[in-house]
Amino acid sequence: MGEQRYFQQGEIVGVLPAGALDRVLDYKAPEGGCRLGAFVEVPLGPRKIVGVVWKEGAGTWDPAKVRSIKRVLEATPMQPNMRSFLTRAAEYTLTPMSAMLRLATRAPGLGDTPAMRKIYRLGANVPDRLTPTRERVLQVLKDYPSLSFSLKEVADMAGVTPSVVKGLAKMGAVVEADAPRDTAYPKLDPSYAGKTLSPDQDAGARQLRSAVAAGRYGTTLLKGVTGSGKTEVYLEAVAECLAQGRQALVLLPEIALTSEFLTRVEARFGARPAEWHSGVTMAERRRAWKMVGEGGAQLVVGARSALFLPFQNLGLIVVDEEHDTSYKQEDGVLYNARDMAVLRASISAAHVVLATATPSLESWVNAEQGKYAKLELKSRFGPAVMPQMRAVDMRDQDLPSDRWISPALADAVRSRIEKSEQSLLFINRRGYAPITLCRACGHQIGCDDCDARMVEHRFLKRLVCHQCGETKPMPAVCPSCEAEDKLAPVGPGVERLTEEAEALFEGARVVTLSSDHFGSARAMKEQIESIAAGDADVIIGTQLVAKGHNFPKLTLVGVIDADLGLQGSDLRAAERTFQLMRQVAGRAGRAEVAGTALLQTYQPDHPVIRSILSGDEDGFWAAEAAEREAAGVPPYGRMAGIILSSENVQEVFDLGAAMARNDGPLRQVGATVYGPAPAPIARIRGRHRVRMLVKADKSVPLQAALSRWTAQFKIPNSVRLAIDIDPQSFF
C-alpha cells in the first residue's frame, strides 16, 4: 500500500477516531474520495467525531451496512512519520491509540468554516512625505510583499501603535481587507541579527549548526552554567534549521517563560514565531495547528503538547530546561515530553538539543555513554561570574519559632538594599501556610475529597487543596471541636515569608513571584519586567523564579529551607534538590556585580548539600549514577507505576491484591511487582488510590509483559487503571 494512497468514493477505509473507541472503524470514502491520512468527520452512533483515515478498511462488514464519511476536513493529511510517531508513542506509554490521536487533533473548530480577520498589505497611495513611524510600517510591508499581516502583527513588527497602521489605511497607503484567519506566520530571517558570541558560544553554535545541517537524527546535551548563554547558542541551531527550509520546535517548561523568549526570538529573526500553550486563544491555536501542517509556521514555541502538532518537515527540536519535571504529564496520557521529543526526532530525521544547567541523570548518563553528543559551556557570558555559595547552619541561629529568615540572611539582605541591589528569598511552597491547625484539639483542616491538607492562601482569602483545586473560606471555628480563635497557621509558605520580609525590611519594596498571584500571563510578564527594571528590592518566590529569568540587579539569593526536598523516599530526591538549588542560586550575579547564595540548612554535612556548595557537579552526578546502578533503578533499570482508583476502597485493594498474586507474565521476564499499597495521597477527588510498582532490568521488554499481565483481569467500569512507564513522581 503506497503512502500516497487515494481512496475512491465508496471504497472501504479504516478510520481511527480521536478520543473515542480504541479501534479502527470501517467507513466508505465520501463523494470525491479521500487520501490516506486525511482528517475526516464521521458518524459514530448519534454523534459526529473527528478521525483520521488510518489504513485500508478491514472489509469484514456487509458494505451495505457500512456508513460513509461525512466530509473531509480542510487540513493537510497526516504524514506517515506522524502516524508512525503516534503509534510508537502509544506502544511505549501503553496508551490507547484513540487517546494518543486526541493529543494530535487539539485544534479548536478543526472542521468549522474558516473564520475571517482583517489583514493589511502595501497600498498604492503612498504620500511623498511620511513620519518616521509611518515609514517603518511601509518598510515592513515592502520587505514582505507576498504576505499579509494582522493589525497587531504589522504594529509589532514596525514597533508602532495600531493607530499608526489604521491612519495609513485611511489615506490608502495601506490596504485593509478581509481574509481567512488561518494565514501563514511572518517569515523568520535566519541571518537577521545574529548576536556576537563568546569563543565558547561560537564553538558550540558551530557544533549544533553542523549537526542540524547533516539532516539526520541525533541528540546533543547542551549543558551550560546559568548565565552562560545557552539560548543564544541553540538559536543558531534554529537559524540553521530555518536556512535549510525545515521547521523547528522549541519546548519551554513554563508559560511564564514564553513572553521573554518570544522577544528574544523576534530580536534574532525579525518576526515572532507561532505559539502553542494553554495561554493562547482558541482562534490562535487553530491557526497555529493549521499553519504547522501547511508549512506556514517555520518555528513553534510551546509547551509539551506542541510535540503533537502536524509538522511537515521537522528538522530540530529544542527541549529547554530539559531536566524540568513539568515535561512529565501526570494525568490523562502519561508521557515525558523530553523522551517523546527524542522519539519524534528519530522518526523525522531531526536533531534534538537538550538544554540545561543541571541535566537529568538520564540525559547525563546517555551523554557519558556516547548515546548523546556533549556540548558544555563552563563559564558565564561576559564579565559575570558564578555566585559564591555558603551554608547558614540553622542550628546556630537564634530564631523564634514563627520566623524563618535567619539573622545572617537578614543582614545580607539589608546590605544589598543599602547598595540598591536586589535579593531573592526562595521557598518552594505556595500559599501562606501548608497546615492550619486547631490549638485546642489538634485537628488539621483537610480537603473533603482528598487525603490532603488545605493550604491557606491569604492573597485569595481561601483555603485551597493543591490536589483537586477545591477552595473554601477559612472557618470561624474549628470544624472538629468548634473552638473559637484556635485555628493557627503552621509552617511557612511564600505569602507568610512575604509578610515576614515586609516586617524585617521596613520601607523596602517587597514583591512576590508565585503563580497563584497572577490572573493572566500578561500580569506575570509585567511583574517580571518590573523586577528586571529594578522596581523591587526583595523578591519572594517559589520555583517559578528558578526557570530562566534574568534579573541584572539581583546579587543575593537566600534559600529558606534547603533541606525540604531531601525528605521522603523518592529515588530522585537528591537529584531534584541539587538541580533546584543550583538553578535558584544561578539567578544571582548575572551582570557585573558578583552574586552570593546562602542556603539555610539544618544538615550542612548532608552529601547533597556539600555537593551543592562545592560546585562539584560531575562528582555529584557520578556518585548519584553509581547509587542508582547499584540499586538497579532508572536509568540503569526499568520501572512502571500502576495506579488503581475507585470510590470503593475495598474494590481497589481487592483488585490490586489479585493482580499481585497473578504476576506470571512479569515473573517470566524477571520483573518484580511491589504492592499493592495505599498511594502517598490515598484519595483524590473522592477516589481511593492504590499504587503498585513494577521493577525490571533495563533490557526487559517491559511494555509487552505489562500488557499480558493486565490483560488477565477484567477491570470493572468503576475502577480506573493507569500505567505510568518511567514514573517521575509517586504521589
Label each residue of 164-200 as H, E or C.
HHHHHHHHCCEEEEEEECCCCCCCCCCCCCCCCCCHH
Residue (of 406, 413, 426) closest to 505 by Cα position: 413
Residue (of 259, 262, 257, 197) closest to 233 by Cα position: 197
pLDDT value of residue 593: 84
Contact call for residues 50 and 40 (beta carbons, < 8 A):
yes
Question: Where do the H-state alpha helices sit in 255-384?
Answer: 258-269, 282-294, 337-348, 361-368
76: left (phi over 0), alpha (psi -120 to 50) or beta: beta
pLDDT tens sequence across 192-229: 988 889 999 999 999 999 999 999 999 999 999 988 99
Domain 388-429+492-624 = CATH 3.90.550.10: no
User: Rounded to whole angstroms, how far apart are CA atoms 95 and 104?
Assistant: 14
507 SS3 class: coil
User: Rounded to whole angstroms, how far apart are CA atoms 1 and 36?
Assistant: 10
Enumerate residue ranges in the chain where pLDDT < 50: 1-2
User: Rounded to whole angstroms, how far apart are CA atoms 119 and 621?
Assistant: 53
Contact call for residues 454 and 465 (beta carbons, < 8 A):
yes
Contact call for residues 663 and 669 (beta carbons, < 8 A):
no
10 Å CB burial of residue 523 (0-12, 13-18, 19+) is exposed
* φ, ψ dihedrals at 190, nearest 5°: -60, -25
Residue 438, marked binder? yes
CA distances to 18, 276, 370, 434 from 86, in Å: 12, 19, 27, 40
Residue 441, marked binder? yes
C-alpha grid cell, residue 537: 528590592
**Residue 22: partners with Cβ closer than 8 Å, 6 or more residues away:** 96, 97, 98, 99
pLDDT value of residue 1: 41
10 Å CB burial of residue 29 (0-12, 13-18, 19+) is buried
Contact call for residues 496 and 457 (beta carbons, < 8 A):
no
Residue 450, marked binder? yes
In terms of CATH, what superfamily is 199-377?
A: P-loop containing nucleotide triphosphate hydrolases (3.40.50.300)
Which fold does the domain 6-103 belong to in CATH?
GIY-YIG endonuclease (3.40.1440)
pLDDT value of residue 520: 66
Give the type of residue at 125. N
Scan for cell 548515546, then name that residue.
371
| Segments of the chain assigned to CATH 1.10.10 | 116-180
Q: N- to C-terminal Cα distance for the chain?
A: 46
| Segments of the chain assigned to CATH 3.40.50.300 | 199-377, 388-429+492-624
pLDDT value of residue 276: 96
pLDDT tens sequence across 652-688: 999 999 999 999 999 999 999 999 999 999 999 999 9
* φ, ψ dihedrals at 11, nearest 5°: -65, 150
Contact call for residues 390 and 598 (beta carbons, < 8 A):
yes
- In which element (H, E) is residue 55 found? strand 47-56
**Residue 720: partners with Cβ closer than 8 Å, 6 or more residues away:** 643, 644, 645, 646, 687
Domain 637-725 = CATH 3.30.70.600: yes
User: Rounded to whole angstroms, how far apart are CA atoms 489 and 496?
Assistant: 9
| Segments of the chain assigned to CATH 3.40.1440.60 | 6-103
Strands (E), 602-727: 637-646, 672-684, 687-697, 720-725
CA distances to 124, 222, 223 from 211, in Å: 46, 13, 16
**Residue 10: partners with Cβ closer than 8 Å, 6 or more residues away:** 28, 29
The CATH label, of 1.10.10, 1.10.760, 1.20.58, 3.20.20, for the domain at 116-180 is 1.10.10
Contact call for residues 587 and 554 (beta carbons, < 8 A):
yes
Residue (of 525, 13, 47, 495) closest to 263 by Cα position: 525
Residue 241, marked binder? no
User: Rounded to whole angstroms, how far apart are CA atoms 454 and 211?
Assistant: 50
User: Which residues, in sequence order, are bridge partners of residue 292?
Assistant: none
